[in-house]
Amino acid sequence: MTPRLIIRDLSVRYAGSETAALDGISLDLAAGERLAVIGESGSGKSTLALAIAGLLPGSALVAGRIEWPGLGRPPVAGADIGFVFQDPGASLDPVMPVGAQIAEVIRAHRPLGRAAANATAVDLIARVQLPEPGQIALAYPHQLSGGQRQRIAIAAAIAAGPKLLIADEPTSALDTIVQAEIVALIDRLVQADGMSLIFISHDIALASGIADRIAVFRRGRLVELGERDQIIGQPRDAYTRALLDASMPATPQSAGAPA
Amino acid sequence: MSFAARFLRTGEGATGAVILFALAVLALAAPALFPHDPLSIAGPALLPPFQDWSLPLGTDRLGRDVLAGIVHGARTSLAVALAAAATAIAVGTIVGTLAGFLGGLADEVLMRVTDAFQTVPGFLLALAFVSVVGPSLGVVVIAIALSAWTGPARIARAEVLSIRERDYVASARVIGMRPLEIAFREIMPNALPPVLAQSAIIVAVAILTEAALSFLGLGDPNRVTWGGMIAEGRTVLRSAPSLSIFPGIALVLAVLGVYLAGEGAVEAAATKRRHA
Amino acid sequence: MRRALILLRRRLIGAVPVLLLVIIGTFFLLEAAGGDAVDAYIVSTGGDAGLIEALRQRWGLDQSALTRLANYLWALVHLDLGWSVTFSRPILDVIRERLPNTLLLMGSATALSFSLGSALGIVAGARPGSFRDRLLSVGSLALYAIPGFWLGLVLTVVFAVQLRWLPLAGIESIASGKTGFARAADIARHLVLPVAALGFIYLALYLRTMRAAMAEIWRMDFVLAARARGISRRRIVLAHVARNALLPVITVLGLQSAAMLGGSVVIETVFSVPGLGRLAQEAVASRDTPLLLGIILVSAVLVISINLIVDVIYAVLDPRIGSGEPA
């Protein structure tokens, strides 16, 4: 089966920076596959997401290849790639009702009239499991909670039916209980629509629940890549092991330990 | 790179600095360049410009040298503008610092007073003040400052409100500094930079206000002013438009120079933060 | 809409102490003017010391400052702004006559500077840092540096004197007897130059504010998110960036009303438009201080009203206002 996405020797350096944000990354993504990209801050995981989505600043230097075998043309943002950002509040326009923001994504990619697009938007809001979708569609972002806003952002990301969903730390700004709900929602949507998923996080425990494969990044390099069970159970790299220990400790921290 | 170097590297800063420097030199050198009283008659009336090289910009209705008038007018405009801006910034900063520091009722009262001064159009206030007290250089300075102080006051107050809670203020209190001492020795100097960032605009507005006051006949009658020259030229607008046009160009250049210098300063301060 | 009305009521209550301060301030400025209404009367009519004393008593001018302040406030409540010696009419009548012309002038000039300035600001802000942007930025700065009265004179020289396209002064042709649409057209012709002069000066401010706001908003995450969703650039510029940038520009609208009212003094003088601004200049020229201060009071009321309206418009445009959330 041809992979959905092929990345070969991808390197990215931001303008004015001495070090490379990404250095020689190679990996494939199959159709319907869920890949978790794990790393700490500065690991380059967000840069990878932006590079795949074509959202890097124009001044960034990019080398290597990103190929889409099944597509036959360059990918279109929104229609082929959906993107969910970390900060749900910041990813929505504060002066536009959320339903309208979903509807405009639909109208940007499909020849639907305003009424039809609005109706589809309400359906999508229902799909991301928000109650009273008709009411929510008329609300402004500041009237919704963080979890609700992120659901809206997810709805907007999948509104045009992309085959790849990139979620860049989608739960890092949310409360713990809400985090699990959002991860479950993404998993459900991805499996129902046959989307490939790239789930970016610094929390390996959280990501392991939604991953078929896990890629570990450190300082712009791909440190380890493997099936989920293998990475969690028998990590080959010392850094991966350190991340696992920190995220899923065998013993709890002692109360008097210095910060 | 020092602030001055960064400032001159910006297009705006360099151009503004050149213009202002030229104006300052002209203003200071006026008595040397044109030793005769610019209000005295220098030649035949209504001599057109560019005809007689001893009177390059011509003469006005009474035969006074236009170029001498413009150079001497620079002294008045710049002096008034700088004095008014300095007064406005000083008064505004003090009021704003007090309001922000004291808080409570004092803050409310001071802010309502600031509101009141901002509600009355600045130029009308200046007009009324000069009209009531009588036109002279000092009065014009105060008249302009009367409305210009509100901007610095608000900025200073906002800064003080954010500085008030910081550590070095708490330390000063612990040492036992008296409140007013804290306000003026610790807080006010740190509230000053954002106020000074606005100073270019205040100076520019002051130049324009002084010109408008002079145009309406409310400037100091013993001094040559650009506004006054334009008002004089208005009476012969059809036959000798240059009499109004040249002083106007001088005004535009002066204000533009101030604006450009201000933009350059803001840009220089921003680039410092970017590379810090 | 309910949100806006709550805000309006709150602002109105807040405006009262400010207005009171302005009134008290102008009263004491009136006192400082020295020479009260009686002196003015005597100067024009003549009389001896005994008459002066009698008049003072009759007009209540021999009472304490505080009593006179109370009388002044009482008169204001009855909309009595005093008597103008220059026009020999109640000040309120004179002002009421001139006010519509100034409102027409200011309204048109504001419409011009706001719409043209915002449009150019959007053009500049669509591509921050581009040549177009820098050109408009520097150009607007140069425009802002021009004194209003000088621009008025230059426009007069070019359009009224040299080209003779437009009338020289006034608000309508004297004794033309025109009515209805023809009269409106005549007034419009007369207002072209003064509106242009007043409007072009403040255009720069709206342009720069819109441009700066757009540059700020371009950096925000929801713009990147919109790009990620595949929204067209044109729609991003107009429906998202400009729409958000509109908010600070609206704020400027309110702040500028006071400045523009001051600017109308010189413009009306240059073009002999019979409005409030020119009235102020006439009051100064004839040392009619009560008239001048009446104008100041009316101006303050006007500025407060305009700011209230702008606040309401802002609340309507920004759904975050009044709902208890930080903007």
C225:A92 CB<8 A: yes
Q: Which subunits sit against A, judged by 3+ Cβ pairs under 8 A?
A: C
Residues A133 and A172 in one domain: no
Mean predicted confidence (pLDDT) in C50-58:
65
User: Which residues span the domain enclosing A233?
Assistant: 1-80+164-259
Is there a contact between A21 and A10 (Cβ–Cβ < 8 Å)? no
The packing angle between helices B137-148 and B150-163, to 10°, is 50
Residues A41 and A69 in one domain: yes
Residues A76 and A99 in one domain: no
Interface test with A, best of C218, C220, C229 (most A CBs within 10 A): C229
Q: Which of A91, A105, A142 sits opposite C231 (nearest CB)?
A: A105
Domains belonging to chain B, first-starting first, are 3-39+56-275 (1.10.3720.10)
Lowest pLDDT segment from A76-90, B47-61, C238-252 = B47-61
Q: What is the pLDDT of residue A254?
A: 45
CA distances from B113 to A76, B145, B151, C25, C242 (A): 58, 15, 13, 10, 35
> What token pair was written down for C104?
């027409």
Which of the residues in chain A have pLDDT under 50?
Answer: 251, 253-257, 259
| Model confidence at C325: pLDDT above 50 | no
Q: Which of A143, A161, A179 is at the close of a domain?
A: A161
Lowest pLDDT segment from B218-227, C172-181, C269-278 = C172-181
> What token pair was written down for B253?
């250049």
Which residue did the predictor score with more confidence, C239 or B60? C239
Question: Of B247-261, C74-88, C159-173, which has the strongest mean pLDDT?
Answer: B247-261
B149-173 confidence digits (pLDDT tens): 999 999 888 888 887 777 777 777 7
A153 touches chain C (CB under 8 A): yes
Which residue did the predictor score with more confidence, C175 or B268? B268
Residues A141 and A175 in one domain: no
Cα–Cα distance, B240 to B61 (Å, whole number): 9
Q: Which of C222, C244, C323 sits opposite A90 (nearest CB)?
A: C222
Which residue did the predictor score with more confidence, B197 or B157? B157
Question: Can you spell out the DSSP letters for C193-207?
Answer: HHHHHHHHHHHHHHH
Question: What 3-state class would DSSP assign to A212?
Answer: coil
Residues A152 and A241 in one domain: no
C324 touches chain A (CB under 8 A): no
Q: Which of C33, C145, C150 sits opposite B230 (nearest CB)?
A: C150
Q: How confident is the model at residue C130 (pLDDT cuts 50, 70, 90)?
A: confident
Chain A residues within 8 A of C244 when measuring between CB atoms: 93-95
Which residue did the predictor score with more confidence, B137 or C75? B137
C227:A94 CB<8 A: no
Interface test with C, best of B110, B118, B124 (most C CBs within 10 A): B124
E-strand ranges in chain A read 5-13, 22-29, 34-38, 61-67, 81-84, 164-168, 196-201, 213-218, 221-227
Q: Which of C228, C235, C320 sits opposite A94 (nearest CB)?
A: C320
Residues A252 and A173 in one domain: yes
**Beta-bridge mates of residue B52:** B55
User: Considering only residues 203 to 262 of chain B, which have any Cβ-Cβ distance to chain C shorter than 8 Å?
Assistant: 204, 208, 211-212, 215-218, 227, 230, 234, 237-238, 241, 244-245, 248, 251-252, 255-256, 259-260
Buried b (16+ CB within 10 A) or exposed e, B128-138: bbbbbbebebe
Mean predicted confidence (pLDDT) in B191-214:
87
Q: What is the pLDDT of residue C40?
A: 56
Cα–Cα distance, C134 to C140 (Å, whole number): 10
> What token pair was written down for C69?
């302040």
Is there a contact between B122 and C262 (Cβ–Cβ < 8 Å)? yes
Give the minimum alpha-carbon distance from A134 to chain C in angstroms, rounded to a whole number. 18
Count how many Cα atoms sit within 13 Å of the Cα of residue B68 in the half-sphere of its side chain. Answer: 23
**What is the predicted ipTM?**
0.89
Is there a contact between A38 and A199 (Cβ–Cβ < 8 Å)? no
Q: Residue holding tokens 């900060």?
A: A87
Q: Which of A118, A142, A161 is at the close of a domain?
A: A161
Is there a contact between C195 and C267 (Cβ–Cβ < 8 Å)? no
A161-195 confidence digits (pLDDT tens): 999 999 999 988 888 889 989 999 999 999 999 99
C214-224 confidence digits (pLDDT tens): 888 988 999 99
Which H, E and C letters describe chain B, residue by residue?
A: CCHHHHHHHCHHHHHHHHHHHHHHHHHHHHHHHCCCCCCCECCCCCCCCCCECCECCCECCCCEEHHHHHHHHHHHHHHHHHHHHHHHHHHHHHHHHHHHHHCHHHHHHHHHHHHHHHHCCHHHHHHHHHHHHCCCHHHHHHHHHHHHCHHHHHHHHHHHHHHCCCHHHHHHHHHCCCHHHHHHHHHHHHHHHHHHHCHHHHHHHHHHHHHHHHHCCCCCCCCCCHHHHHHHHHCCCCCCCHHHHHHHHHHHHHHHHHHHHHHHHHHHHHHHHHHC
Q: What is the pLDDT of residue B271?
A: 67
Distance of CA B239 to the CA centre of its chain: 33
Residues A168 and A235 in one domain: yes
Q: Which subunits sit against B, judged by 3+ Cβ pairs under 8 A?
A: C
Lowest pLDDT segment from B1-5, B92-96, B271-275, C311-315 = B271-275
As for how many domains chain A has, the answer is: 2
| Edge-to-edge strand list for the sheet holding A34-38 | A81-84, A164-168, A196-201, A34-38, A213-218, A221-227
B230:C284 CB<8 A: no
Is there a contact between C270 and C153 (Cβ–Cβ < 8 Å)? yes
Chain C residues within 8 A of A91 when measuring between CB atoms: 221-222, 224-225
Residues A20 and A34 in one domain: yes
Is there a contact between A98 and A92 (Cβ–Cβ < 8 Å)? yes
| Model confidence at C226: pLDDT above 90 | yes
Chain B residues within 8 A of C147 when measuring between CB atoms: 208, 211-212, 215, 227, 248, 251-252, 255
| Model confidence at C106: pLDDT above 60 | yes
Lowest pLDDT segment from B68-72, B254-258, C174-178, C286-290 = C174-178
| Model confidence at C64: pLDDT above 50 | yes
Beta strand A221-227 with A213-218 is antiparallel
Is there a contact between C242 and C149 (Cβ–Cβ < 8 Å)? no
Question: What 3-state class would DSSP assign to A130?
Answer: coil
Of B33, B36, B34, B52, nearest in space to B44 by CA = B52
User: Considering only residues 9 to 68 of chain C, which have any Cβ-Cβ distance to chain A shorter than 8 Å?
Assistant: none
**Beta-bridge mates of residue A37:** A200, A215
Mean pLDDT of chain B: 84
Q: What is the pLDDT of residue A256?
A: 46
Residues A30 and A91 in one domain: no
Mention every residue, 6+ apart, whose C-beta is less than 8 A from residue C59.
C37, C38
Residues A104 and A149 in one domain: yes
Residues A100 and A71 in one domain: no
Q: What is the pLDDT of residue C55?
A: 63
Chain C residues within 8 A of B212 when measuring between CB atoms: 147-149, 265-266
Is there a contact between A196 and A34 (Cβ–Cβ < 8 Å)? yes
| Model confidence at B276: pLDDT above 80 | no
Residues A228 and A104 in one domain: no
Mean predicted confidence (pLDDT) in C7-14:
83
Q: What is the pLDDT of residue C326?
A: 43
Cα–Cα distance, A66 to A13 (Å, whole number): 16
Q: What is the pLDDT of residue C42?
A: 59
What CATH number did the domain enclosing A253 receive?
3.40.50.300
Chain A residues within 8 A of C230 when measuring between CB atoms: 76-79, 105, 108-109, 160
Q: Which of A161, A186, A208 is at the close of a domain?
A: A161
**Residue A143 carries which DSSP code?**
G
CA distances from B206 to B142, B144, B200, C281 (A): 11, 6, 10, 19
C222:A94 CB<8 A: yes
Q: How confident is the model at residue C126 (pLDDT cuts 50, 70, 90)?
A: confident
Q: Which of C25, C146, C287 sits opposite B116 (nearest CB)?
A: C25
Is there a contact between C238 and B99 (Cβ–Cβ < 8 Å)? no
Q: Give the number of A-C residue pairs with CB atoms closer than 8 Å.
A: 82
